[in-house]
Amino acid sequence: MACTSDQLDVVQELNNFNFQYTITNGNLDADYANENNVELVPMLSQSTVELSDGSLCCMRDPPTDVHNGVPVSTLCTAEMIADTLANTQSSLTTPMQYLMGPNESYVVPK
């Protein structure tokens, strides 16, 4: 659940970035971010990645993920990730400077 603009106003001077568990705008209020110079820090948090067109790709080779019961059979490319990040940035006035990766490793059972 995202914070509302009213909730963020309370900590506006401290709130100079917002991170999402996605590389799209996710639930970020872009108008609020632009008005208050809030930087979006996107994250590649899982091996399944949502792209800006709503489609999914998998960072495993071969693609073996299942998302909501549906196999994800498209392998992510650097171009797909870069295009989605560029699309995300296009709606924001504060440049994105960082891209977070997963901070918890996980093992796929064999």
The predicted pLDDT at position 110 comes to 58
| pLDDT > 60? residue 65 | yes
With the CA atoms of 45, 46, 49 and 50 taken in that order, what torsion angle do they form, in degrees rounded to the nearest 10? Answer: -70
Residue with more model confidence, 25 or 8: 25
Q: Tell me if 44 sits within 8 A of 101, measured CB to CB.
A: yes
The predicted pLDDT at position 49 comes to 92
27-36: average pLDDT: 85
Question: What is the pTM (predicted TM-score) of this model?
Answer: 0.79
Residue 91 sits at φ, ψ, to 5 deg, of -95, 0
Tokens of 24: 């799209």
The predicted pLDDT at position 19 comes to 80
| Residue 2 DSSP class | P
The predicted pLDDT at position 63 comes to 85
